[in-house]
Each structure stands twice: as C-alpha cells, then as structure tokens.
Amino acid sequence: MVQKREKEVLESVQQMYGSLIGNLTVLAPSQVASVYADLPHLGQRLPLSLVSAGINKFVTVLSAILTRPNGVVLIDEIENGFYYETFPHLWKAVVKLATTCQTQVFVSSHSIECIRALLPILKSNPSDFMLLRAERENGASGVTAVQGDFFEAALEQNFEIR
C-alpha cells in the first residue's frame, strides 16, 4: 500500500526553497524512475538531482522518514548540501515529519551552526532529544550522552562538535 503523503514533502520544499519548485513528480522516461521538479520559470521538468543537491537531499531525507513509520532513519552529516540559513527549516521539517510518522531519527553533524539551529525546536519538547558525543581520549573511546534538557547548556559550555 502506498500512502498519499507527497503533499507534505512538496509543502516543506516550497517553504524552504520558495517558488523555485512548482511541483514534484516521479517519472520514468527511461527505465529508472526519478523525482522530477516542475520549474515554473523554465516551463519544463528536470530531475531533482540536477536542480540542487540540497533540494535532492532534503526530499531524500523526508522520503526516508515517510517510508519508515514507527521505524528508524539514520542521517549522516545532515548539514552537507544546505546553506546555513536553511538549517532551522531543515530541522523543523525533519522533526515535524518524524513526530507525525513516529519515526526515530539519528543524525550526525560536524556543524555547530546546524546543531544550534535545532535549539528553538528542542525547547518545546526536550525529552524527545538527546545529544550523543563520541570521544576518544588516550586511546580509549566513549560516548557522552546529554539529555535534551541540558543540550543548550552543553553547547554553551564549549561542548565542541568535532
């Protein structure tokens, strides 16, 4: 069964990228299906991967969450491909969709700006968030867990993202 959830993805894309994308469609002009973007200013559809790496990654992340209800999604280096000013919308869309789908999302990041952009969303429900920091010292590895309530304090106390 395939659910009709493409409207949520399109709305998120349009909120993040404005009127650049008129619509998204899955087409298979050759033997491989791809997501195509309707670009009103061009009057034609292009494969999403040719429009923007960021938009393509954004749609891929949202699609992964939609297809894993009550599951788990792993996102490596979520900040890659996005302009730093889009981080708040990125987080808003990911958290909203993950909450709706009851999908647990694990995200890695090397960007303190990206992590800080999560703070306004985190404050509304800190128990839904945890920061896990992998560390290596003197040849020994470990993980430090920071509960959502202490997330901002940890960032303010030079809890560096490496």
- Summarised one tens digit per residue, pLDDT across range 17-26 is 887 888 888 8
Residue 148 is assigned to a structural domain of this protein: yes
Structural domain span for residue 102 = 6-124
Listed residue (64, 79, 75, 65) closest to 118, CA to CA: 79
Specify whether 148 is located in the same domain as 105.
Answer: no
Across the chain, what does the average pLDDT equal? 87
Question: How much is the pTM?
Answer: 0.84
- The reply to whether 106 and 161 lie within a common domain is no
- Domain harbouring 74, CATH code: 3.40.50.300
Q: What is the mean pLDDT of residues 118-140?
A: 90
Considering the domain architecture, whether residues 100 and 134 belong to the same structural domain is answered as: no
Assess whether 17 and 46 both reside in one domain.
Answer: yes
Residues 79, 135 within the same domain: no
Answer whether residue 1 is part of any domain. Answer: no
Same domain? For 77 and 131 the reply is: no
Helix (H, G, I), strand (E, B) or coil at 70: coil
